[in-house]
A and B are shown apart, each in its own frame.
Chain A
């Protein structure tokens, strides 16, 4: 259940990247991967490598994915910018 909450939160946050200029590495799909991977990895780290089960999932579990998704997307964005600079 924790994983479901993380993925949902990652996907939710990703939807708002549409407002940003498309400098993501891999474009909007790259941002999608970044958001999901970031949300899941961060969730894992916060929960010491485990996924909260049904009875352990709470509001905070879903919120835990938020910074991860943002960091994941930021990483993809920065990599995209770096690659654009190199291309120029």
Chain B
């Protein structure tokens, strides 16, 4: 297919996709994440139960199914319930309508068990005493009697494991203070769980963890009921120790409904019927209870005094202990008419219980390990800030591109516009749930797309300056630049993929948009712009090099990068030293994502100050809470941020309620709450993600270049990560999951610059067959420095937009990126390249060259390869390689072949005739008959009049321009070749 036809086809595809994108953008809705539209996100960790000893995928799926039914029944629109990691379930509930109910309902296990009360409630001796009202509560069973919490726990802990196969929980753990005879924490499922939830992750001095074995259950007394059947809000501070051997479970209930009492009031109740098995078990237990009551009745005594009870326990909580009348039901209660639970319910709680029992108990226990809630107002504000940052970032990059690259810049800006439209259409089409980190990813890909254009445009300019026509310059520029872009983008995509696999939900959005955006940008920034430019290559608009910003360079970089690297190394060393001391002395300020804890942002309706909020928090049991008044006129006058390490996700709603009662929080309540388990998971995942990214990047570089190029890359990446860590420590900024995402992005970006430099080094190695490696690197640096600076600058532009306009969340992210990207650009030039130089210089071929050059130049190696022309040293540029004879793929790097003549020179350099020692120098292909090579040889003979050093073939004198060199230049131009 001809190039013209190919370009037309690409342009046609671009146009069609544009039309399609516009249609999608207009017709489809954008799916916004909870952080942008407001809502609640909950993360539960699955825990085994005696009935389901292993949390397997089937149990998780079943739990998800039940949870979805519960949320649907509540009428929450578009809930997102999905598995996360091995045993976690993420629940996203958009909007705030019914969210509170949903939070309470969705993760409730809803395991209901019925116990023969008097036969199972234990006295101080660990044995049942059915007739002792002090133990059972007598006629007020479940509400009176019982033990103190401490006594109940210590008594229960003395019982050995029992009731295997019948017990409802796998044991309980409590934290007790024996001196004060108080229970300070629990129940938790295990000692480890209990301790992990304590401040600092350890039990305070003077306390101990008490474990209650399987088969024994400590339950709190049920709240007292008044004359109207209403239950008190608070349960009394009395506890019962139950022999955990239920007679019947909620599984045997059918046709469960919320109803109202028909006799003795109109309180809400839950009615149900029994399955066949349940009916028989129900009859059996009620008969036992009735007969025991009958046996205990003393002659002449009111029968009610001897009525025995059964207890309904829901998720370890005593909800009701009704009596069984042996006078009405001497043979127990026939379950054919069903039964009901009068638990002192409100209509809502009765409805919720009925619904949870209908949908069935969850097969596993769920622990709420993370809870975040964003109010719709804050969500909208975040969305606006994100969009503003995006628009500003795009505008800044556009201005930069047009200013720097003129017509090329205009085309790049058009490509950026096309890219933005495609990407937005993709977001709507897939659909991708757009989150705040996702917007950050999107903005960053603007930088990626611009970088790709810059790399190519610089190459195009270089080709045109080298004597190529505009059309040939464009073709060659795209061809040569593509390998570097592909390498850099593949690394970005791989890093994004690792992030996506390992990260939590928010960061996943970022990784996904970064990955997709990078792929789309490859299409728009490379293929589309190439098609446009090539089609325009004969247009007047771009036929003049000046229109492309490709006028002859007045100045070029002549800095001795390798020579100066000592000073830059030392500077890095000092920065890292300070960073290491800061890490040791100050440490890192980890956010609640890693540390666990809760951060609440709320605008209260009644006027108050920090002390007012603090008093509510102290009363709720969180006196350590840090309160900050925030200035956010959009939310109101009384906006506060509350941070505390000790508030666990499952207690956040209690605090919200207390704040609401005192000051009124309305819908302005946003919070992020991470439990210790989740915090540890996040921290471990972050470490794995960073190590995995480093390994993958190293392997990729080793494959695409050679392994010796991979090591400096790894060192430079470590340098960037550690400097960023040092800066975070010094500034005391909070390290969050966004920071980790930023660190991983830094890996990709830092590599972008390094790849550009190394790509040119790789290209120049065979083109400078007599140069020392330091000269090759210096030359390469001089050629690509403008490009590196331009890509870094174009990346920093959208990052700055994020920093200044992106709001609180994105600011953190942008700060890490700012430090990392700046450090990455620096390390590519002053760390990675010098390390490569030092290491490669040890290879025999380069050592020999170095020795020869030192001999010729009085013991020094000039910074740049020089040739002596007519006795005066002149700068020597790399030779032009012979044109490729075989067709290679667009992405494959230029082959590092050398001519037979160059090979001969190498052999002479080595002295012993062994020319294959050293990387980058291979056996040359037999004769190189290509026309360009012949002309190259003739050029060489024109310029290299004596003592050529460092591959002095086509001399490009700058200061003292000999006659011969000038002729060579004009000849090169005539041949239309790059010099």
Residue positions of A touching B, CB distance < 8 A = 1, 4-5, 7-9, 11-16, 18-19, 22, 27-29, 32, 54-55, 57-63, 65
Contacts and interface: CB of A to CB of B under 8 A. Distances in A.
Nearest to B719: A11
Nearest to B722: A8
Contact of A60 (B584, B588, B834, B835): B584
B576 A63 contact: no
A44 to B, nearest CB: 16
Contacts of A8: 576, 579-580, 583, 722, 725-726
Contact of A28 (B580, B581, B725, B839): B839
B838 A12 contact: no
Contact of B572 (A7, A9, A15, A29): A15
Interface in B673-730: 711, 715, 718-719, 722, 725-726
A60 B842 CA distance: 37
Contacts of A12: 573-577, 579-580
Given A11-B576, A28-B839, A16 B569 contact: yes
A9 B579 CA distance: 8
A18 B715 CA distance: 14
B5 interface: no
Given A57-B587, A62-B585, A18 B579 contact: no
B566 A19 contact: yes
Contact of A59 (B585, B839, B842): B585
Contacts of A13: 573, 577
Given A11-B718, A12-B573, A62 B580 contact: yes
19 contacts: A8-B580, A8-B726, A9-B577, A9-B580, A15-B572, A15-B573, A16-B573, A18-B570, A18-B838, A19-B566, A19-B570, A22-B841, A22-B842, A57-B583, A58-B584, A59-B584, A61-B584, A62-B581, A62-B585
A64 B834 CA distance: 28
A15 B576 contact: yes
A12 B581 CA distance: 11
B565 interface: yes
Contact of B839 (A11, A14, A27): A27
Q: B-side binding surface: helix, strand, loop or mixed?
A: helix
Contact of A15 (B570, B711, B841): B570
B676 to A, nearest CB: 14
Interface string B2-44: 0000000000000000000000000000000000000000000
B819 to A, nearest CB: 15
Contacts of B583: 1, 4-5, 8, 57, 62
Across the A-B interface, the 4 shortest Cβ-Cβ residue pairs? A15-B573, A62-B584, A12-B576, A8-B580
A9 B587 CA distance: 14
B148 to A, nearest CB: 35
Given A8-B579, A8-B726, A18-B565, 11 more contacts: A8-B583, A9-B577, A12-B573, A12-B577, A16-B569, A18-B569, A22-B838, A22-B842, A58-B584, A58-B585, A59-B585
Contacts of A57: 583-584, 587
| SS class, residues of chain A in contact with chain B | helix
A81 B565 CA distance: 24
A34 to B, nearest CB: 13
Contacts of B839: 27-29
A28 B838 contact: yes
Contacts of B834: 18
Contacts of A4: 583, 722, 725
B566 A29 contact: no
Interface in B585-616: 585, 587-588, 590
Interface string B827-850: 000000011001101100000000
B713 to A, nearest CB: 12
Nearest to A11: B576
A1 B590 CA distance: 11
Nearest to B586: A59
Contact of A29 (B711, B722, B725): B711
A29 B573 CA distance: 15
A6 to B, nearest CB: 8
Interface in B194-216: 200
Contacts of A61: 584
A62 B587 CA distance: 11
Contacts of B722: 4, 7-8, 11
A22 to B, nearest CB: 6
A16 B570 contact: yes
Residue from A4, A9, A65 whose CB has the most chain B CB atoms within 10 Å: A4
Contact of B587 (A22, A29, A32, A54): A54
A62 B579 CA distance: 10
A59 B583 CA distance: 8
B474 to A, nearest CB: 40
B590 to A, nearest CB: 8
A4 B584 CA distance: 9
Contacts of A29: 711, 715, 835, 839
Nearest to A65: B580
Contacts of A28: 835, 838-839
A43 to B, nearest CB: 11
Interface in B831-884: 834-835, 838-839, 841-842
Interface string B116-158: 0000000000000000000000000000000000000000000
B569 A27 contact: no
Interface in B349-382: none
Nearest to A8: B580
A27 B842 contact: yes
A9 B575 CA distance: 10
Which of B565, B584, B722, B839 is the most central at the interface, judged by chain A CB atoms within 10 Å of its CB? B584
Nearest to B834: A18
Contacts of B579: 8, 12
Contacts of A5: 580, 583-584
B592 to A, nearest CB: 14
A35 B654 CA distance: 53
Interface in B417-463: none
A12 B834 CA distance: 16
A13 B572 CA distance: 10
A3 to B, nearest CB: 10
Nearest to A30: B839
A31 to B, nearest CB: 9
A38 to B, nearest CB: 14
Contacts of A63: 581, 584
A66 to B, nearest CB: 9
Contacts of A16: 569-570, 573
From B565, B575, B718, residue with most partner A Cβ within 10 Å: B718
A62 B577 CA distance: 9
Contacts of B572: 15
Nearest to B708: A29
Contacts of B718: 7, 11
Contacts of A14: 573
Contacts of B569: 15-16, 18
A30 to B, nearest CB: 9
A12 B718 CA distance: 11
Contacts of A1: 583, 587-588
Nearest to A63: B584
A69 to B, nearest CB: 10
A19 B566 CA distance: 7
Nearest to A1: B587
A17 to B, nearest CB: 8
Q: Which of B583, B590, B835 has the most CB of A within 10 A?
A: B583
B836 to A, nearest CB: 9
Nearest to B200: A55
Contacts of B838: 18, 22, 27-28
A75 B835 CA distance: 20
B426 to A, nearest CB: 39
A54 B595 CA distance: 11
Contacts of B581: 59, 62-63
Interface in B888-917: none
